[in-house]
Amino acid sequence: MIEICEVTKKFEHVICLDHVSLTIPEGTIYGLAGENGAGKSTLLRLIAGVYRADQGEIRIGGKKAASPAAKEKLFYMPDQQYYEKTATPLSIGSFYKTFYPRFAMEEYRYLLEQFGLQEGASVAAFSKGMKKQMFVAAATCACTDYLLCDEVFDGLSPKIRLKVNDLLKNAASARGMTVLMVSHYLEELDRICTARGFLHRGKILSEEEWKRLG
Protein backbone atom coordinates (compact mmCIF):
# COMPACT_ATOMS: atom_id res chain seq x y z
CA MET A 1 0.00 0.00 0.00
CA ILE A 2 1.12 3.53 -0.79
CA GLU A 3 -0.02 6.00 1.85
CA ILE A 4 0.26 9.73 1.27
CA CYS A 5 -0.82 11.82 4.24
CA GLU A 6 -1.17 15.61 4.18
CA VAL A 7 1.87 16.08 1.95
CA THR A 8 2.95 19.60 1.04
CA LYS A 9 5.86 20.51 -1.24
CA LYS A 10 7.07 24.03 -2.01
CA PHE A 11 9.70 25.33 -4.40
CA GLU A 12 10.79 28.72 -3.09
CA HIS A 13 7.44 30.51 -2.64
CA VAL A 14 5.42 28.33 -5.02
CA ILE A 15 3.23 25.61 -3.47
CA CYS A 16 3.46 22.62 -5.82
CA LEU A 17 1.50 20.16 -3.66
CA ASP A 18 -0.94 21.37 -1.03
CA HIS A 19 -1.81 18.91 1.79
CA VAL A 20 -2.27 15.97 -0.57
CA SER A 21 -3.67 12.76 0.92
CA LEU A 22 -4.11 9.57 -1.08
CA THR A 23 -4.15 5.83 -0.38
CA ILE A 24 -3.37 3.29 -3.11
CA PRO A 25 -4.27 -0.28 -2.06
CA GLU A 26 -2.08 -3.28 -2.81
CA GLY A 27 -2.50 -4.74 -6.29
CA THR A 28 -4.09 -1.59 -7.71
CA ILE A 29 -3.19 -0.03 -11.04
CA TYR A 30 -3.87 3.57 -10.10
CA GLY A 31 -4.01 6.37 -12.63
CA LEU A 32 -3.51 9.96 -11.56
CA ALA A 33 -4.59 12.43 -14.22
CA GLY A 34 -3.87 16.13 -14.40
CA GLU A 35 -2.77 18.90 -16.71
CA ASN A 36 0.87 19.88 -17.14
CA GLY A 37 2.15 21.62 -14.02
CA ALA A 38 -0.45 20.04 -11.72
CA GLY A 39 2.22 18.46 -9.53
CA LYS A 40 2.02 14.88 -10.80
CA SER A 41 5.74 14.39 -11.44
CA THR A 42 6.63 16.07 -8.15
CA LEU A 43 4.39 13.63 -6.29
CA LEU A 44 6.09 10.65 -7.95
CA ARG A 45 9.52 12.02 -7.03
CA LEU A 46 8.41 12.38 -3.44
CA ILE A 47 7.19 8.77 -3.35
CA ALA A 48 10.43 7.59 -4.98
CA GLY A 49 12.52 9.51 -2.45
CA VAL A 50 14.05 11.89 -4.98
CA TYR A 51 12.45 14.83 -3.15
CA ARG A 52 11.56 15.25 0.52
CA ALA A 53 8.19 16.61 1.58
CA ASP A 54 8.06 19.90 3.47
CA GLN A 55 5.11 18.60 5.47
CA GLY A 56 3.29 15.29 5.76
CA GLU A 57 4.40 11.71 5.37
CA ILE A 58 4.58 9.04 2.68
CA ARG A 59 4.78 5.31 3.41
CA ILE A 60 5.38 2.49 0.95
CA GLY A 61 4.46 -0.92 2.24
CA GLY A 62 4.56 0.50 5.73
CA LYS A 63 8.08 1.93 5.28
CA LYS A 64 8.90 5.63 5.10
CA ALA A 65 9.56 6.89 1.58
CA ALA A 66 13.27 7.48 0.87
CA SER A 67 14.30 4.80 3.36
CA PRO A 68 16.40 1.92 1.94
CA ALA A 69 13.65 -0.52 2.90
CA ALA A 70 11.13 1.42 0.81
CA LYS A 71 13.41 2.09 -2.15
CA GLU A 72 14.23 -1.58 -2.67
CA LYS A 73 10.52 -2.28 -3.08
CA LEU A 74 9.90 0.13 -5.94
CA PHE A 75 10.98 0.98 -9.46
CA TYR A 76 10.63 4.60 -10.55
CA MET A 77 10.35 5.32 -14.27
CA PRO A 78 10.61 9.10 -14.89
CA ASP A 79 9.42 10.79 -18.05
CA GLN A 80 13.03 11.65 -18.95
CA GLN A 81 15.27 8.63 -18.49
CA TYR A 82 18.98 8.86 -17.71
CA TYR A 83 21.72 6.58 -19.03
CA GLU A 84 25.39 6.62 -19.98
CA LYS A 85 26.27 7.82 -23.48
CA THR A 86 27.66 4.39 -24.39
CA ALA A 87 24.67 2.49 -22.97
CA THR A 88 22.99 -0.37 -24.81
CA PRO A 89 19.72 -2.08 -23.83
CA LEU A 90 21.73 -5.04 -22.57
CA SER A 91 24.07 -2.91 -20.44
CA ILE A 92 21.07 -1.12 -18.95
CA GLY A 93 19.55 -4.47 -18.03
CA SER A 94 22.83 -5.51 -16.40
CA PHE A 95 22.93 -2.21 -14.51
CA TYR A 96 19.46 -2.76 -13.06
CA LYS A 97 20.35 -6.34 -12.21
CA THR A 98 22.91 -5.00 -9.71
CA PHE A 99 20.20 -3.04 -7.88
CA TYR A 100 17.30 -5.46 -8.24
CA PRO A 101 18.42 -9.05 -7.52
CA ARG A 102 15.15 -10.45 -8.88
CA PHE A 103 15.61 -8.67 -12.22
CA ALA A 104 14.39 -11.14 -14.89
CA MET A 105 17.16 -10.77 -17.47
CA GLU A 106 15.97 -13.44 -19.88
CA GLU A 107 12.45 -12.04 -19.88
CA TYR A 108 13.89 -8.55 -20.44
CA ARG A 109 15.84 -9.75 -23.47
CA TYR A 110 12.71 -11.45 -24.79
CA LEU A 111 10.73 -8.20 -24.46
CA LEU A 112 13.45 -6.27 -26.26
CA GLU A 113 13.09 -8.70 -29.13
CA GLN A 114 9.29 -8.33 -29.10
CA PHE A 115 9.65 -4.54 -29.30
CA GLY A 116 12.17 -4.88 -32.15
CA LEU A 117 15.01 -3.36 -30.08
CA GLN A 118 18.50 -4.75 -30.63
CA GLU A 119 20.13 -5.44 -27.28
CA GLY A 120 23.55 -4.28 -28.48
CA ALA A 121 22.37 -1.07 -30.16
CA SER A 122 23.20 2.42 -28.93
CA VAL A 123 20.41 3.78 -26.73
CA ALA A 124 21.50 7.32 -27.61
CA ALA A 125 20.38 6.67 -31.18
CA PHE A 126 16.89 5.52 -30.12
CA SER A 127 13.80 7.65 -30.59
CA LYS A 128 11.87 8.76 -27.51
CA GLY A 129 9.33 6.03 -28.13
CA MET A 130 12.01 3.33 -28.43
CA LYS A 131 13.62 4.45 -25.18
CA LYS A 132 10.25 4.40 -23.47
CA GLN A 133 9.61 0.83 -24.64
CA MET A 134 13.01 -0.29 -23.37
CA PHE A 135 12.53 1.27 -19.94
CA VAL A 136 9.01 -0.15 -19.61
CA ALA A 137 10.48 -3.59 -20.28
CA ALA A 138 13.15 -2.97 -17.62
CA ALA A 139 10.58 -1.63 -15.16
CA THR A 140 8.38 -4.71 -15.36
CA CYS A 141 11.35 -7.09 -15.24
CA ALA A 142 12.74 -5.52 -12.06
CA CYS A 143 10.04 -7.56 -10.25
CA THR A 144 9.48 -4.94 -7.55
CA ASP A 145 6.35 -4.66 -5.43
CA TYR A 146 5.67 -1.09 -6.57
CA LEU A 147 6.04 0.59 -9.94
CA LEU A 148 5.88 4.36 -10.50
CA CYS A 149 5.42 5.52 -14.10
CA ASP A 150 5.58 9.14 -15.26
CA GLU A 151 3.87 9.81 -18.63
CA VAL A 152 4.56 6.25 -19.78
CA PHE A 153 2.49 6.67 -22.98
CA ASP A 154 4.13 9.90 -24.12
CA GLY A 155 5.95 9.51 -27.44
CA LEU A 156 4.38 6.13 -28.27
CA SER A 157 2.35 5.34 -31.36
CA PRO A 158 -1.22 4.03 -30.78
CA LYS A 159 -0.10 0.49 -31.68
CA ILE A 160 2.83 0.55 -29.23
CA ARG A 161 0.62 2.10 -26.54
CA LEU A 162 -1.55 -1.00 -26.70
CA LYS A 163 1.53 -3.23 -26.39
CA VAL A 164 2.78 -1.29 -23.39
CA ASN A 165 -0.71 -1.34 -21.90
CA ASP A 166 -0.87 -5.13 -22.14
CA LEU A 167 2.67 -5.55 -20.79
CA LEU A 168 1.93 -3.46 -17.70
CA LYS A 169 -1.40 -5.16 -17.02
CA ASN A 170 0.06 -8.64 -17.40
CA ALA A 171 3.09 -7.85 -15.22
CA ALA A 172 0.92 -6.31 -12.51
CA SER A 173 -1.41 -9.30 -12.53
CA ALA A 174 1.33 -11.96 -12.62
CA ARG A 175 3.50 -10.34 -9.94
CA GLY A 176 0.88 -8.67 -7.79
CA MET A 177 2.49 -5.28 -8.33
CA THR A 178 0.96 -2.02 -7.21
CA VAL A 179 1.29 0.49 -10.06
CA LEU A 180 0.93 4.26 -9.89
CA MET A 181 0.77 5.99 -13.27
CA VAL A 182 0.54 9.73 -13.85
CA SER A 183 -0.46 11.12 -17.22
CA HIS A 184 -2.47 13.75 -19.04
CA TYR A 185 -3.71 10.98 -21.39
CA LEU A 186 -6.96 10.25 -19.54
CA GLU A 187 -8.20 7.82 -22.18
CA GLU A 188 -5.07 5.70 -21.81
CA LEU A 189 -5.44 5.59 -18.04
CA ASP A 190 -9.04 4.46 -18.48
CA ARG A 191 -7.88 1.47 -20.52
CA ILE A 192 -5.49 0.08 -17.96
CA CYS A 193 -6.23 1.45 -14.49
CA THR A 194 -8.43 -0.20 -11.89
CA ALA A 195 -8.77 3.10 -10.01
CA ARG A 196 -8.00 6.73 -10.77
CA GLY A 197 -7.77 10.17 -9.25
CA PHE A 198 -7.25 13.74 -10.37
CA LEU A 199 -4.66 16.35 -9.43
CA HIS A 200 -5.25 20.02 -10.15
CA ARG A 201 -3.01 22.87 -8.99
CA GLY A 202 -1.50 20.74 -6.27
CA LYS A 203 -4.75 19.38 -4.86
CA ILE A 204 -6.55 16.06 -5.21
CA LEU A 205 -10.01 16.45 -6.76
CA SER A 206 -13.02 14.17 -6.90
CA GLU A 207 -14.21 13.06 -10.35
CA GLU A 208 -17.18 15.42 -10.06
CA GLU A 209 -14.89 18.36 -9.27
CA TRP A 210 -12.62 17.40 -12.17
CA LYS A 211 -15.53 17.25 -14.63
CA ARG A 212 -16.70 20.70 -13.55
CA LEU A 213 -13.35 22.10 -14.66
CA GLY A 214 -14.33 21.22 -18.23
Nearest Cα neighbor of 26 from 53, 1, 5 is 1
CATH number at residue 168: 3.40.50.300
pTM of the model: 0.90
Average pLDDT over the chain reads 90
The structural domain count of the chain equals: 1
Indicate the pLDDT class of residue 214, thresholds 50, 70 and 90: low
pLDDT of residue 55: 95
Residue 192 located in a structural domain:
yes
Residue 148 located in a structural domain:
yes
Output DSSP code: residue 85: T
Residue 214 located in a structural domain:
no
The β-bridge relationship of strands 2-11 and 14-24 is antiparallel
pLDDT tens per residue across span 59-81: 999 999 989 999 899 999 998 88
Residue 124 located in a structural domain:
yes
Residue 213 located in a structural domain:
no
Residue 30 located in a structural domain:
yes
Q: Where is pLDDT greater, at 104 or 174?
A: 104
**205 has a pLDDT exceeding 70:** yes
- Domain assignment of residue 41, given as a range: 2-207
